[in-house]
Structure 1
Amino acid sequence: MDILTAIIMGIVEGLTEFAPVSSTGHLILAGHLLDFTGESAKTFEIIIQLGSILAVIFVFWRRILSILGLKKYQDSESVGTLSIFHIAVGIIPFGVGGVLFYDLIKNVLFSPATVVITLIIGGLLMLAAEKLKPKASAETLDQVTYRQALTVGFFQCFALVPGFSRSGATLSGGLLAGMSHKTASEFTFIMAVPIMFAASAKDLFESWNQLGAQDIPVFAAGFVTAFIVALIAIKFFLRLINKVKLIPFAIYRFGLAIVFWIFII
């Protein structure tokens, strides 16, 4: 693996981690086209995912401090009331599902065929969410209820299956629960921090023996690239989502499933 490959993979991770298009699918496809696969590739993907997590923390640091009770958050409309309990309610279903089905997911479901199927199913869910969503009752994060957070948490369980897209699942759940597109997106990003950090830390601990001193420059290049690209992508996505909704992303997923089928399966 060289620096250029690391940068390309970092760009793919940063662009797709928080968009509802399946970062897993894109990384598998990119790794296949770049001939970058195997245990080293899996460890590298964990490292660059941590770069994306850092980008979320950078964008939402004031809100995160407020959630942790370390700083009062206030925008032009209200004082922040979104709490750590909202986040906990949202991640509990995913955490329980991850513990119960971890081996099944890793050993059985993690395959290109699964990704193709879940790309299509996830796209259909996004179309259904746009069609069936009620009028938004939560226009800001501070209007999110525990019931809405729990609903998003249950939808997030779909993302346990590779290729479904955590963002696609939670955005769909948020819309159906009565959140606006922007609120569902922000809740998705913030809720991603503890989930992705915990999952990445577990996988990194198990893959630690794959790392060597020679990997540091390459892994650092991927990490920094993922951080910078994710930082730009998050801000762009938050401005875009209220305008374009989920339908273009659903159509994109169908096209990606076809490309995946041609090049991978």
Structure 2
Amino acid sequence: MAQLDYFKAIILAIIEGLTEFLPVSSTGHMIIASSFMGIASDPFVKLFTIAIQLGAILSVLVLYFKRFFKSINFYLKLLVAFIPAAVFGLLLSKKIDELLESPMAVGISLLVGGVILLFVDKWFNKPTLHEEEEINYLTALKIGFFQCIAMIPGVSRSGATIIGGMSQKLSRKLAAEFSFFLAVPTMFAATGKKLFDFYKEGNTITHEQVNLLIIGNVVAFIVALLAIKSFIGFLNKHGFKVFGYYRIAAGLIIIILLYTGHTMQII
């Protein structure tokens, strides 16, 4: 079996940084990439693809530093929104792990999600909430349930929560920002759970693997800093259609390749 090396780690980290906050599914893209590399089933690779999301998430703390010191209500809303994912994540962890090795699940999710994104701007075009202070606890909880859908690889955590926010009358900008904020507790918890499971299964992390995790997180952090700023501006100006077309094209390509029996391993 092929192993994760520094080159592959950097490639995966770049993919993570570029896609974590876009509605295209960072996990889905890393599953496809690691499948092409022939390393998708390796336990450490599964840990790596989750753990490097922390690097991307830290970019949120840097870019929105002041927002995290506004009020206790801000944290309470994030906690309420996080609860559904925490509960369903624990209940469905084994099934989620199985799906993390399924390129076909990613292809189908990309395709279906892409079709949905083509119509989102028309469905939710009359927002009434434009500031984080206007979000109440019930609204936060509803957005949290949307985040649970993203446990299916290829759905996109950011896409699900942004659409969830827009369905609750949040503006596109506010929905995107709340999605970014919600990613912080969600990904910290996901990484902690993955580390616990990794050690529980009798695995250990070598010195080289620690270096791979450090490099992966640093690269993901830097790339995500650039991606967040670009995404907010693009989303406000152009909406979701471009991402919808991209997801449909990517999903169809993956499904066709798998259906015609082409191997996913090229490296």
TM-score bucket (shorter structure): 0.7 to 0.9
Instruction: After superposing the two structures, state which structure 1 stretch, 163-172 or 95-104, moved more.
Output: 95-104
Q: Classify 1:264/1:219 alpha carbon distance in 2 versus 1 (closer, same or farther; 3 Å).
A: farther
Question: Residue 223 of structure 1: CA displacement?
Answer: 1.5
Which of residues 1, 5, 15 is equivalent to 1:2? Answer: 5
Quick check: 1:173 aligned with 2:180? no
| Residue segments in structure 2 that go unaligned for 5+ positions in a row | 260-267
* TM-score, normalising length: structure 2: 0.86
Alignment of 1:109-188 (within 5 A): 111-188=102-179
1:45-60 equivalence runs, <5 A: 45-60=49-64
Determine the C-alpha separation between the residues in 1 that align with 2:30 and 2:75. 31
Distance 1:109 1:201, change over 3 A: closer
Q: Which amino acid aligns with 2:124?
A: K
Shift of 1:23: 0.8
Distance (Å, rounded) in 2 between the aligned partners of 1:227 and 1:85 = 26
Q: Distance in 1 between matches of 2:18 and 2:204?
A: 26
Q: Secondary structure at the match of 2:213?
A: helix
Q: 1:108–1:40: structure 2 CA closer, same or farther, 3 Å change rule?
A: closer
1:30 equivalent to 2:21? Answer: no
**What is the rounded CA distance, in whole Å, between the counterparts of 2:156 and 2:18 in structure 1?**
13
Residue 171 of structure 1: how far off its partner (Å): 1.0
Change (3 A) 1:224 1:60: same
1:237 aligns with 2:231: yes
**Deviation of the 1:229 alpha carbon:** 0.5
Letter in 2 for 1:121: V
Q: Which residue of 2 aligns with 1:258?
A: 252
Residues 14, 230 of structure 1: 8 Å contact kept: yes
Gaps of 5+ in 1: 70-81
**Hey, what's the Cα distance between the residues in 2 that align with 1:40 and 1:94?**
23
Q: CA 1:210/1:250 → structure 2, altered by over 3 Å: closer, same or farther? A: farther
Tell me if structure 1 keeps the 8 A contact 2:55–2:218.
Answer: yes
Residue 40 (structure 1) aligns with = 44
Paired with 1:89 and 1:211, the residues of 2 have a C-alpha distance of: 33
* Root mean square deviation of aligned Cα: 2.0
> What is the match of residue 14 of structure 2?
11
**Does the Cα contact within 8 Å between 1:32 and 1:264 map onto a contact in 2?**
no
Q: 2:211 aligns with which of 195, 209, 217?
A: 217
Give TM-score, length-normalised by structure 1. Answer: 0.87
CA–CA distance in structure 2, aligned partners of residues 108 and 3 of structure 1: 25
Supply the distance in 1 between the matched residues of 2:36 and 2:214 (Cα, whole angstroms): 22
- Other structure's SS at 1:227 match: helix
**CA contact under 8 A between 2:111 and 2:250: conserved in structure 1?**
no
What percentage of residue pairs aligned between the two structures are identical?
A: 41
Residue identity matched to 1:23: S
> Shift in Å at residue 193 of structure 1?
0.5
